[in-house]
Each structure stands twice: as structure tokens, then as C-alpha cells.
Structure 1
Amino acid sequence: MLWNIDLTLVDVAIVTRDAYAEAFRVVTGRPLVKLVPPLGRPDSEIVFETLAVNGIQAEDAHLPKFLSALALAFADRRGRLAKEGRMMPGAKAALKAVSRLDGVVQTVLTGTIKSNAVHKLKAFGLDKHVDFELGGYGEEVYPKATLLQVAQGRAKQRLGTPFTAANTVVIGDSTRDVQAAKIGGAAMIGVASGRSMAGELREAGADVVLPDLSNASEVVAAVAGLTSPVDRRPGQADLSSWR
């Protein structure tokens, strides 16, 4: 199971913007005037668009420099996350409840770079049930649907089991998350807690739509209903040991 982070599990937009402003200043020597809205896009895409709308001609070296500066700026501000951000309703209980399902491995599919994703979840105590090594992150220059397939490949390599739409679930708050799941090969649970309304998530093709994560039993039922047990071959990993 792959969780989107921003506006699905947490909302730390104020700290994120400040970190972007600092990274922009470090890389360009100029103040940030306009930060493009994330809209479910990866940091790698946001960086190039933000440079463009602020009149900076993007070069190949800009992306690694910006992402490195962004990681440092965000780490410097990690103490503000819990104070100035918020955990989305029901997030902690939902993660814990899903972890009790047999054979479930939880990770993230996020536009955020990996180090910042870890900081975001740790700040609210949401990292306990998440295997960050199997996720897809914003420093990888791929569309989110491709990031999903990258994460599935990592899980297959680690656990020895193919992951398809029959045993992979994405949960997120935007129509972009839905599109990524449908293109990448996963079932989709839409949560109307962020960028998109329930009707928009349904229209985009979400298999299940929840108003938020406040009812953990509904989240568990949705995950269980969208997945089928995986028959292990000899030598394959027992997924229940990775809950």
C-alpha cells in the first residue's frame, strides 16, 4: 500500500514554502517571488516551473543543487513541522489499523523528496508503520505513475512477489494521484481531504472514495476489498512479516 503524504496524511504547507524560499535564494541568489502550486506533482517538476515563473533560465545543474538545498532547508525547519503543520484527521489510527492486515506492506508514493518525506511523517509519529525504502519520491525525475512502477519494482526485488493492480493500493487526495494509480497499475482509494472533492475523485476513476481517514475501519475495509491474497511460490517472502 502506497500513501500520498501532503493533504492525505499531513499538512505542512507553511514550512514547505519557507524551505522552498530558502533553497531558491541559495541556488539563485534572489528572493522567491512565486512558488508554483504543487497540485500533486513531484518536487523535481515544481523546481523547474518555479525557476521559470521567477525568470530563471533552468540549466541541468539547477535541479540537483536545488533539491540538495531544499533538503537542508527543510531539515533546518523540521522542528516547526508539528507546531505549524497538522496531522490529517485519523491518519495515525488508519496507518496502525492497516498495519494489522495480514500481508500488508505500507510505504509512500509522494512528490516530496525522500529526506523531507521522512521528516514530515516523523514529526507526527507517523513513520512507525512505513517502509521508506520501498517508496517513490520527488527527486526521481519521473511522472507519478512511473514512480509507482518503480516502487512496485523495489517491492518485488525485496519481497519476491510481483505487484499489480490486484495487490497494490494507492491512497491519496488528488485526481493526479488517481491518474497515477490507474496508469501505473494499482487500485485507488481517494480521500477528499485535500486538493480534490469527492465527486472529482470518483470521476477521475477512484475505486473507493472516503471523506477523510477518521474512520479507520472504513480504510481497512477499503484496502481489504481492493486486494486479493497473493499465492507465494517456494522461496518467496512471507509478506506478513513486513507489516
Structure 2
Amino acid sequence: MDVSIVTREAYAEAFRAVTGRPLVKLTQPNGRPDSEIVFEMLAINGIVASDEHLPRFLDALAAAFGARRRRLAKEGRMMAGARDALKAVARLDGVVQSVLTGTIKSNAAHKLAAFGLDRYVDIEIGGYGEEVYPKATLLQVAQGRAGRRHGTVFDGRNTVLIGDSARDVQAARIAGASMIGVASGRSLPAELHEAGADVVLPDLSNSSEVVAAVASLTSPARGAGRFPAGR
């Protein structure tokens, strides 16, 4: 989903709240976690970051974004087919769905709820932007959370990441998970293939294709569940 207008406003408000100065220079997310974006944003605006800056900034960002949550559905947009794809994959036997995102947990929850997607995912086992891990490690952290919650092992045999960038593909490869690349975001189909995606879809509009891809890349007979994690 794209809620960039609200996100930019929330970042600007959080920056002022933490530094006492207006935000002048913006940085591009490019699939990076909020924790990394915060440090770069402080640096390019002439603020020398201390250990206290990150937790204060993330708290302020959560408050600023939460105050604007009612605008998300009106001013943002959901990727075509996203709801139907999540709903369809949820019907697969043994599926556990969550999110792996650079957005901090509270803001990710607001985004999902605004578009009615929260009912299809287990937010508690996901990986989020306040956790200072590389994305590949964050995927492994999420697998561990899913395993403890559901009493089974989630690993490369039964985990598939769905994302729209070559960086997502690289994270899946490092973590040993399967990867479905969706060419409706930052990367072209050729880039996703070259990065090593197992399956590349043009978008999520054909939920049958998404279900078939997830089913082909997971093996519930070898693990006790399947763990599709989407961005």
C-alpha cells in the first residue's frame, strides 16, 4: 500500500518534536526500515545523532502517524488485488500470514487496519522497522516468533516472502526462504529474476496465481505449517 503523504507529514512532525527544528531535507525510503531512515534524516539535516534520538523519534513518529490514521484509506491506496490475495492464501491449509516491513509495528497495524487487511495476518509474529536488524535477520526473527506461537518450525522449506524489490529478494535468499517477486513496485521483472526470485508476478490481481505460487514454494508435509510473509 502507498500512504506516502501521511507518512511524510508524520515524519516532519516527529522531526520537529524531537529536534525543535523544521524538517528541511527528505530521504527516500527505498525499502529501508524506519530506524535506518531516522538516522539518515537526522544526518542530512545537520543533527548529530545520540543514543536517545532513535527511541524518541520512533515514539514521536508513532504518535504523529496514529493521529492521522483516519486519513489513510482516503489519501492512500492499496495495491490492486492485495485483499483478495491475502484472503485466498489464508484459505490454504496450515498457512500463517504476517508482515515483514520497514514500518514500525504500530504504524504497520494502522495501515493494515485502514484497508481491512489486518484480519488476514498475525501482526504479533511479524518483523518491523523499530528492530535494528538487517531484513534477512528480521525474517529469521519472524520465523522464530511464528514457531514459538504455533509450536512448529518455520524455515526455508515452508517460508515464502512476497515483496516488490530486489532488496526483498536478497533478504529471502540470505535467510534461506523462497521468494515471490511482485513487479508492481520498485523493481522490474528482469531485476527480480536476476536477484533470484523463485516466482515473479506482474501484480497481485490474480489471486489464483498467488495461491499457486505459495503452494508450490512451501511444503507443509515437511514442516507443520506455511509462513507467507508479505511486505
TM-score range, shorter chain: over 0.9
Task: Using the TM superposition, give the Cα deviation of residue 230 of structure 1 relative to its aligned residue in structure 2, in angstroms.
Answer: 3.6
Question: Could you tell which deviates more after superposition, 223-232 or 159-168?
Answer: 223-232
Match of 2:53 in 1: 62
How big is the shift at 1:239? 4.5
Does residue 141 of structure 1 match 2:127? Answer: no
Q: 2:4 matched to 1:13?
A: yes
Whether the 8 Å contact between 1:99 and 1:105 is mirrored in structure 2 is yes
1:174 to 158, 165, 174: 165
TM-score (norm 2): 0.95
Higher relative contact order (CA 8 A, sep 6+): 1
Give structure 1 stretches of 5+ with no counterpart.
1-9, 233-237
1:43 to 22, 34, 39: 34
The alpha-carbon deviation at position 35 of structure 1 amounts to 2.0
Counterpart check, 1:111 vs 2:85: no
**Structure 2 residue corresponding to 1:25, chosen from 10, 13, 16:** 16
1:228 aligns with 2:219: yes
Paired amino acid for 1:66? F
Note the 1:67-146 alignment, pairs <5 A.
67-146=58-137
User: What stretches of structure 1 move > 4 A for 4+ residues in a row?
Assistant: none
> How far apart, CA to CA, are the structure 2 residues paired with 1:154 and 1:45?
23
Residues 1:183 and 2:174 are matched in the alignment = yes
Verify the 8 A CA contact 1:165 1:187 in the aligned structure 2: yes
CA distance in 1, matches of 2:221, 2:104: 30
Q: Which runs of 5+ in 2 are unaligned?
A: 227-231
Identity %: 77
Alignment coverage as a number of residue pairs: 226
Per-residue displacement from partner, 1:142-186 (whole Å, max 9, x unpaired)? 111110010011111111211111100000111111111111121
159 and 230 in structure 1: CA distance in 2 versus 1, 3 angstrom threshold: farther
